[in-house]
Amino acid sequence: MHTSLLTAVVLILITPAPLLGGDALDDALGLVGMQRQDLGWRAKGWWPRWPDVPYKLRAFDALFAEPLDTIAYTRALGQTAYDLLDPEQLAKEDTDRNSRALFQAVQRLGIDPKFGGFRGYTANTLAPEMPLDQAIVALYRAAGRTTQPNTFGMALPYPKIEEQIAEQAKNVPEEISPILGQLVLNIIEARRWVDLAFRKVDAADRLAVATRYDVGMEMIDAYDYCPAIDDVAKTWDEASMWYAAQKCVDALDLARIKLQMWKSELDGPVPDFAFDWETPWGWIRVRGVVPPRNPSSSGIHFKNLDGTDSCLVVELGDDTTYAGPVAAGSPSTPISLLLDLGGTDNYRSAPGAIGEYQSGLAPSQGAGLCGVGILIDAGGNDRYGALRYGQGVGQFGFGLLADLAGDDEYCLQHSGQGCGYFGVGLLFDAAGDDEYNIHADGQGLGGVAGVGILADRGGDDSYVAERKHSITGRPSYHSPDLDVGVSNVQGCGIGRRGDGSDGHSWAGGLGALLDGGGNDFYSAGNWSMGTGYWFGIGLLHDRAGDDKYNGVCYSQGTGAHFCIGALIDEAGDDQHFAHENSNSSLAWAHDFTIGLLLNIGGDDKYHVDTGGLAYSINRSVAMLIDTGGDDTYEINVAKRGENEHADERPGFAMNAKSFRARSGVGTYFADTTSIGLFLDIGGDDQYTGGEAALPGSVGNNRHWLDPPGSPNWADRNFSVGVDRAAGEVDFTPRPVKVPSGK
């Protein structure tokens, strides 16, 4: 940040600057002599104790230096999800450069933030159509396995692999056999790239990181270092992994489109058939549709299908119950794909009650742990239930669950529903009123060096993380006296903070929840709804609707320790609440954090117990900006404890002696600038609780700053509060270089 603001500050103290008629944010910054370019940080290498953290994502340093670009970045992700998950776009087989919409959504939302080696033109899924049995024979050859055994100069009478495959394949309708064969050929090509991704990785290390199921819990306080993670991170070939993922996504999606077209052109129902073959790379299972058992009955009759050790499962439209680790890539099954073309389906990682948290320990339902796991469900009201690592999770791999239609329910305990640790995990839901339930670590979690995205295009959706640590087993020391746990959900970027333990610090990733519309409900405990931690980026974008946000601590545009957290709500009458003795919420930023809460339009309500509403602590940028509507802001001063600050109000930057302690080892506190900025534009607004800090100042159509004599002025630590009757804010990123005009 710029440090040469003292002259401007002195002038402000003598003659307070009036609010001007220009850009409302520029005017607010101008009240303390700041401009947009004064926000953010570019670390100096000689600063002692500034963390040296590997595995930062591509976007982090740029957003850290230009905090307001976070708004454009978040909006771009939200717009991308909305455009590409449009059912009309998803139905197109051929698009520009043979680049289908689902492939583009994966590339732009998942791979681009993680790795910059692709421009996203095409996955090069160029395999020709071929009868299924011939394609499986080609798979044997690619796996280095014979289909025609010989000995003593003669062909053995057993096993007759090619003949047996051909016999089994007679069950498959002749019209779709080439489509399935093409899919198998594309899997063969993708498998080559998965193998290349780990060609230099020790097999024991690969197995160790693929079966490490506590990364989400361990990374926060760094209590149990796993050296294999560092070793794999330094030796794997990311480009090859993401190329394999591209190919698998596009190949499976192409098969979906062709098979749906075949179904639409059938004169009668989809035939009832089954194909099962155990290949060297896992089972290939294809199912037709069982005729109704009782045509007069309206009840649902589920067909059971075991997806254990499956390379490929294709179900053409029945009501199906899937059990076991379906669509789960691993070292033993590097590619595992599932395509379901319709019906009311139940996915459960182990036998048990449908739709509940399951007891099965194996990853499932779109999990890639050192491999690729993809589940595409094209229709029906479906229920997904798993214990851990499922429903779109990647750990040194790629996991995708894409549900394209219906009102769906997702239940998971931890690590999934759009979650990445050194990998990419995506959950895409294109339509319907959906329910997402989790204990912790997901619903858009970018864990260490990962990308986790939950994108739901439309409908009235519910995103719930179990709040009670008595249920989840994850107590939070930010709520020591309450039954409130760590959530790490709903747009959360979190790294491994090793500076207090073993020194192995890993940057957090990108976690984003992107909701395209509807009246939505968000509920969680601590660390949720656009929050960051330790070089992570956590984003929540809600495009439209009357939404309710309910968190506790570190919720809704917040973060701590060198990170970025942002919540952007584009429309509707919304409620932003933080309850249960909450603080550190609603645009709260601690220790070189960018915490942004932007709400556009609508009559909105905000409530926090004690600290919040654009609250900066330890050199951070905290901003709450609301444009339009009659809004209500409440700080529950009755909940303040003895150690709470009585001068808290909307737009507050807490002072600290370290801001002027240049003789110590933390000089970066003295060398930088920080701000807590609150800006409300338009409407007849009400304030409760915070107005006591500056009597007569905080209120509708007023502005308030630190009192004269506050040390904040000299320490470049600014508290800014503005409520103005009208105005606009331009969030367009500034050009990298202003044209000279020559």
The model's pTM:
0.94
Longest dimension (CA), the chain: 103
Taking a C-beta distance cutoff of 8 angstroms, is the pair 109, 426 a contact? yes
The predicted structure's pLDDT at residue 16:
44
The predicted structure's pLDDT at residue 252:
98
- Tell me the C-alpha distance between 499 and 512, whole Å: 26
Q: What is the dihedral of CA 30, 33, 38, 40, to 10 degrees?
A: -80
The predicted structure's pLDDT at residue 14:
32
Query: What are the two backbone dihedrals, phi and then psi, of residue 95, each rounded to the nearest 5 degrees?
Result: -130, -175
The predicted structure's pLDDT at residue 693:
62
- Tell me the C-alpha distance between 702 and 679, whole Å: 10
The predicted structure's pLDDT at residue 97:
58
The predicted structure's pLDDT at residue 3:
36
The predicted structure's pLDDT at residue 98:
64
**Could you tell me the two tokens for 705?**
């700053």
Q: By CB neighbour count within 10 A (0-12 exposed, 13-18 middle, 19+ buried), where does 525 fall?
A: buried
Residue whose entry in the numeric block shows the structure tokens 């002259």: 7
Residues 6 or more apart from 231 whose CB is under 8 A from it? 201, 202, 205
Give me the count of residues in the chain: 742
Residues of the chain with pLDDT under 70: 1-20, 95-98, 292-302, 350-360, 638-647, 664-666, 690-695, 736-742
The predicted structure's pLDDT at residue 351:
53
- Tell me the C-alpha distance between 405 and 399, whole Å: 19
Share of the chain above pLDDT 70, in %: 90
- Tell which residue, 318, 326, 317, 316, has the closest CA to residue 302: 318
**Could you tell me the two tokens for 266?**
């059938």
Taking a C-beta distance cutoff of 8 angstroms, is the pair 336, 190 a contact? no
Taking a C-beta distance cutoff of 8 angstroms, is the pair 587, 612 a contact? yes
- Tell me the C-alpha distance between 259 and 274, whole Å: 16
* Residue 109 DSSP one-character state: I
The predicted structure's pLDDT at residue 676:
98
